[in-house]
């Protein structure tokens, strides 16, 4: 493959990554609602540890540190989004 072909393939993967990320964040929103209804905290370190252990086993050894960093960023973004949802719900419920 030449550079153009490689970049085209990367673009296709990027498109899929965006689609999957958006799908993941929609599910994060559902998780946020479920946690709120059950009175659970946004952060769930046990769940993050379980996911981290599982994804490390899936990744090529060469890439496992980067995969772990990627998922740590996903966890951070998910918690940020959940906090935003909680703040919005609080504002709506309190009229603030």
pLDDT of residue 56: 96
pLDDT of residue 43: 95
pLDDT of residue 15: 98
CATH number of the domain bearing residue 52: 1.20.59.10
Cα torsion 31, 35, 38, 40: sign: positive
The C-alpha torsion from 56 through 59 and 65 to 66, rounded to 10°, is: -130
Residue-level pLDDT, tens digit, the chain, 96 residues: 899 999 999 999 999 999 999 999 999 999 999 998 899 999 999 999 999 999 999 999 999 999 999 999 999 999 999 999 887 765 555 555
Structurally, how many domains does the chain consist of? 1
Question: Which residue segment(s) compose the domain that 68 sits in?
Answer: 3-94
């Amino acid at each position: 493959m030449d550079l153009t072909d490689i970049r085209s393939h990367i673009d296709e993967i990027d498109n899929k990554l965006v689609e999957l990320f958006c799908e993941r964040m929609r599910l994060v929103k559902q998780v946020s609602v479920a946690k709120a209804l059950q009175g659970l905290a946004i952060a769930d370190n046990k769940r993050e540890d379980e996911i981290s252990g599982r994804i490390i086993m899936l990744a090529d050894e060469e890439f496992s540190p980067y995969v772990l960093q990627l998922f740590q960023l996903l966890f951070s973004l998910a918690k940020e989004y959940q906090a935003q949802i909680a703040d919005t719900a609080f504002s709506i419920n309190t009229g603030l």
